Amino acid sequence: MSKKADKDTIKYLNRQTVLRIIREHNEISRTDLTEKTKMSPTTISAITADLMDAGFIHEIRVGKSSGGRPPVIFGLNPSSASSINLNVTPKGASVSIINLANEIVYKKEIISSVYNESSLELLLNESIKNALENFEYDTELIQGVGISFPGLIDYKNCSIIFSASLHIENFDVKKVIRAVLDRNIYIYKDTDALLLGEYYFGIDKKYRDVIYILVDNGVGMSYLHNGKLFRLPEGGFELGHLTIDPQGELCRCGNRGCLGTMISKVPAQKRLSDILQKGMESRVEEISSLKYEDIIKLYLEKDPACSIVIDEQINLLGTTISNIVNIFNPQLVILGGAFSSGGEDIRNSLKQILDKKALKSFSSTTELKLSSFGINSALLGISHEIFTHEVYKFIDLK
């Protein structure tokens, strides 16, 4: 490395360190920056001036004087960088714009069924165009596009390998997005994005080994190991396709008796229909219009038919979580999706099964929590990753 390049590298690394510390502290003075970075006051002055010129930080206010000149307090300039984030489901997409202060400044639900390649292409086009139309600043400030999908993702090539619920196989996401907006694209499996959001913005930082389980229109799982999202280059943990009953119902994957055919919304509706046909007492009148949350609410209100359905799902889910804990021994299991709308009642029932079925030394150290902020967690999680790689990026010196 030449002397000039060497000097430039150090300058860049120092700048990124200061930017990272301002991000971690929300607001901070030059004196505190000098103390935390161990850089000289002159260097800190030069870097803060440079970051202000670039627009990433600004002076928030003047702090209290402790004798001398009152200190200037710096903070991130929220509108200096933004990300576009999409959460795609079979029913449409949540589109959001998130700024550098992690504030969701725009959010829109686009309702549009996804059932093949062209319907997905249409939805992605419409979503990005909608976000661009509603972006108040120069589009140059958009740092990247983040998307989460249900299914198997090839994150390196930015494509969907297979998604049973979207009826998609081998879909080039990058090509479709780039045709509308030329930015780096960050693609995640839905549960990976939800887990990242919970990790960065929801749970206590003491948790480093976390399992996220989603029970909603299907069943999914993601894993955070030692503070890092565990990602397989092609695909992830397909919890919903664990074979539970080889003679069971046919799954969209082609096998029989997968977990997803026994837990989640549609299996609950089917089981409820069977039970009602046998004449079981219930307040349910029309099953097809029932949401998963409605069935769970009726379970909490002790509706006899809904109680049977949800008790069966709790038992199977509790056993599944016990098996997962026996394999991964995580510090924390987070349950998200509509099933978690059952609140403490469902959490306690699952924890009892976990305490009974998982290895004692594992279950005694594994906590079970409900997701703290639903779908926003996925949007914020992806956005955090975009800013980490596009704004707070470091030079790889290896």
> Which residues here bind Zn ion, judged by CB under 5 A?
241, 251, 253, 255, 258
355 CB burial (10 A radius; 0-12, 13-18, 19+) = middle
CA distance 14 to 2: 18
Cβ-based nearer residue to Zn ion, 251 or 268: 251
In the complex, minimum distance from the CB of residue 118 to Zn ion, in angstroms, rounded to a whole number: 25
Cβ-based nearer residue to Zn ion, 218 or 342: 218
Q: Comparing C-alpha atoms, which of 290, 310, 312, 287 is closest to residue 300?
A: 310
In the complex, minimum distance from the CB of residue 81 to Zn ion, in angstroms, rounded to a whole number: 40
Radius of gyration of the chain (CA): 24
Strand 185-189 and strand 142-149: the pairing is: parallel
DSSP labels, 248-275: SPBPTTS-BSBGGGTSSHHHHHHHHHHH
Cβ-based nearer residue to Zn ion, 241 or 351: 241
In the complex, minimum distance from the CB of residue 335 to Zn ion, in angstroms, rounded to a whole number: 21
Q: What share of the chain is helix, strand, coil (3-state, %, to 5)?
A: 45, 25, 30
Cβ-based nearer residue to Zn ion, 181 or 253: 253
Cβ-based nearer residue to Zn ion, 93 or 258: 258
In the complex, minimum distance from the CB of residue 244 to Zn ion, in angstroms, rounded to a whole number: 10
Cβ-based nearer residue to Zn ion, 49 or 232: 232
In the complex, minimum distance from the CB of residue 180 to Zn ion, in angstroms, rounded to a whole number: 33
End-to-end CA distance of the chain: 12
In the complex, minimum distance from the CB of residue 357 to Zn ion, in angstroms, rounded to a whole number: 23
CA distance 33 to 28: 7
Tell me the β-bridge partners of 85: 96, 146
CA distance 325 to 365: 10
Cβ-based nearer residue to Zn ion, 242 or 380: 242
- Length of the chain, please? 398
DSSP labels, 139-154: GGGEEEEEEEESSEEE
In the complex, minimum distance from the CB of residue 222 to Zn ion, in angstroms, rounded to a whole number: 18
Cβ-based nearer residue to Zn ion, 241 or 265: 241
In the complex, minimum distance from the CB of residue 259 to Zn ion, in angstroms, rounded to a whole number: 8
